[in-house]
Amino acid sequence: MKKTIFVTASVFGLLAVMLGAFGAHGLEKMVNTDAVATFETGVRYQMYHAFFLFVVGLLPGLSKKTRQIVYTLVVIGIVLFSFSIYLLALNDITTFDFRTIGIITPIGGVFLLMSWGYLGYRVFKEI
């Protein structure tokens, strides 16, 4: 499980750097400044949670089940939160109106909140 967590954290970190570079150097020519700022929010939260996964993988004394649950919550949260933000930021340059799926952004945020809350609770109980 730890290897999966570290690989996933690395992939999310790599994607965050790549997307951040795109947002800073390519996206600003395609969309307005508000959309760039929105895009950067998705990148920032993705990177925060990539680091969070590394911490989850490194914390001693956590059960495999706890790691697995936190991992699942974070992955779902990043995909729903950050990736929907990326799509919403690109809305003006696509033919599909991504605002119709905007409801998944706060749902992703709830998954991220649950991952932090659950980890805190399990650290209190297990360590």
> Can you give the pTM of this predicted structure?
0.92
Please tell me whether residue 37 adopts helix, strand or coil conformation: helix
Q: For residues 47-66, give the mean pLDDT.
A: 96
Position 45 pLDDT exceeds 90:
yes
For the chain, the structural domain boundaries read: 2-126
Q: Which residues contact 127 (CB under 8 A, 6 or more apart)?
A: 59, 60, 61, 62
